[in-house]
Structure formats: structure tokens, C-alpha cells
Amino acid sequence: SQNDLDVILDIITKNLEDVVCDYYGNYFLQKLLPYFSYKHRILLYTHIKPIFIPIANDICGNHSLQSLIMLQNSKEEENIIKECIEKDLQTLAVGANSSHVVQKVIKAIKEPNRAYINTFITSNLIDLCFDSHGICIVKEFIDNTQTDFYIKAVVSIFELETSKLTYDQYGNFGIQEIIKIYGYDACRKIISKICEHVVDFSVFKFSSNVVDFVIDYLSKNKKEKFVYVINNDYNKLMLYDVTGIKTN
């Protein structure tokens, strides 16, 4: 009953951080959250707000926050979430645990209502792509963005930094994701740059992953462009060993 839930929530809020960040307690809370009413969730957010950042950075606590965020369905909850993360987005986005919380916010909140996150990501796109946790934020953003303004902004930045991203151990995943989600027409210039430098990209570990992806992605007719380039530069390609180091 709602009365039972009132009693349970009262007990939890008196020991909130202990429960939320406990190895077993966070599982209990995750199972309980779907039974909470809107009123219960607002009350819980009220108690979480002062300790949101420590919970987001906790290896257990971040899971409880993710579950709570995915249940939001009101403007008030969206505003509370914004208040909790907006001023610390730079730190949260690259945290081993907190980055998962930001990903859930991107997934749970409709695009027009998370402009502060959209602006942050597009303004810090390349730095996020070069970070092991930040790249996950970028991929979630790409997967959940449909507004032309942001799509064009991301594509334009990727076009300018195609080579750096393709060679990077994390950035190469961003290149693959943007082509997969936005398609050939939007990413034509990015794909063309990969085609133009296919030999150079093919002999290095991370960039070769992008070449493999693009070859699989393109239609048979467009694959012929790769075959043509490789045939013409075969001797150049054979100058490199499997590690990407030029041989004598």
C-alpha cells in the first residue's frame, strides 16, 4: 500500500547514502523504485540532491541513480536532474561511474529538454571522444539525437578531425557510430576522407577498425573505390608490417 511505501521511504531517507551506496542496498532500492509514486520520487530526489555527486561517483550508488532517472516522467523531475548535474557535467561526463548516470539522462530525457547537455557535448566533443568514458557519452548522444542543428554540428566537427579521431583508441568508435547512425549522405565527407587515406589508416591498429567498418558499411559499388585505391597503392601498403611500422 502507499502507506507502507511512505514508511519504507521514511526509513530509507534517514539512512539514504548508506542504503544507496551499499553493495546489496542499492539492489533493494532499484527493485523498490518502480512501486514509488510521483510524490515518492520527488521526496527521494529532495534527499538525494545534496549528495547527488558522491552517489553518482560511487560504484554502487550510480546504479540506483540510473534506475531513478529512467523512471522520470515530469518537468519537475527533469528540473531537479538538471540542477544536480549541470554545474558538474565536466567531471561527471568522464567519471568511471558517473558517466553512466549522464548516459541515462541523455537516454531518459527528451532531446528538447536537455539543451544544457547537448550544448556541453557539442562544445567539448573532441575531448570527450578522446576519453575512455567520454566516448560512451558521445555515442549515447549520437544515438539519441535527431535535431538537424546538433547532427550538423557533430558531423562538421568530425569532418574537421576525421584523421585524429580515426587514429585514436577511443575516437575511432565515434567515427564508426556517427556513420552507423547518421548514414552515408550525412557523413559523405568523413567517408571520403577515409577512402582517400585508406592505405594509411589500414596499417594502424585503431584506424584499421574504421576501415573495416566502412568497407562493410558501403554498398558493393562504393567498395570498388577501396579496391581501386588499394590496388594502386599496393606497393606502399606492403612497406608496413602488421604493427604499422615501416619496414626497410
| pTM exceeding 0.85 | yes
Residue 225 pLDDT more than 90?
A: no
Q: What is the pLDDT of residue 238?
A: 46
pLDDT-wise least confident of 98-112, 127-141, 185-199:
185-199
Does the structure show a pLDDT above 80 at 27? yes
Q: What is the mean pLDDT of residues 99-126?
A: 96
Which one-letter amino acid corresponds to residue 71?
L
Cell output for 56: 553518482
Cell of 52: 547527488
If you average pLDDT over residues 157-181, what whole number do you get?
A: 97
Give which of 147, 97, 100 is closest to 122, Cα–Cα.
147
pLDDT at 102 over 80: yes
Mean predicted confidence (pLDDT) in 139-150: 96
Average pLDDT, the chain: 90
What is the maximum alpha-carbon separation in the chain? 79
User: What pLDDT score does 192 carry?
Assistant: 85
Residue position matching grid coordinates 547532427: 151
Question: Which phi and psi (to 5°) does residue 192 adopt?
Answer: -60, -40
Phi-psi domain of 102 (left: phi exceeds 0; alpha: psi -120 through 50; beta: other): alpha
Segment 193-209 shows an average pLDDT of 90
CA distance 28 to 30: 6
pLDDT at 185: 87
Q: Which residue has better confidence, 211 or 232?
A: 211
What DSSP designation does 218 have?
Answer: S
Query: What's the rounded mean pLDDT across residues 182-205?
Result: 89
Output the pLDDT for position 223. 65
User: How does pLDDT run across 45-71, given as a tens digit for each residue?
Assistant: 999 999 999 999 999 999 999 999 999
Residue 229: pLDDT band (50, 70, 90) is: low
Q: CA-CA distances (angstroms) from residue 182 to 14, 168, 197, 203?
A: 47, 21, 22, 27
Q: How far apart are alpha carbons 74 and 214 in whole angstroms?
A: 41
Whether the per-residue pLDDT at 137 is higher than 90: the answer is: yes
Residue among 153, 170, 236 at smallest CA distance from 202: 236
CA 50 to CA 89: how far, in whole Å?
A: 16
What's the chain's length in residues? 248
Q: What is the mean pLDDT of residues 25-43?
A: 94
Question: What was the pLDDT predicted at 241?
Answer: 44
Percentage of the residues of the chain whose pLDDT score is greater than 70: 88
Residue 47: per-residue pLDDT: 95
Residue 230, pLDDT above cutoff 90: no
C-alpha cell, 67:
534506475
227 band by pLDDT with thresholds 50, 70 and 90 = low
Q: Please report, as a single letter, which amino acid is at residue 116.
A: Y
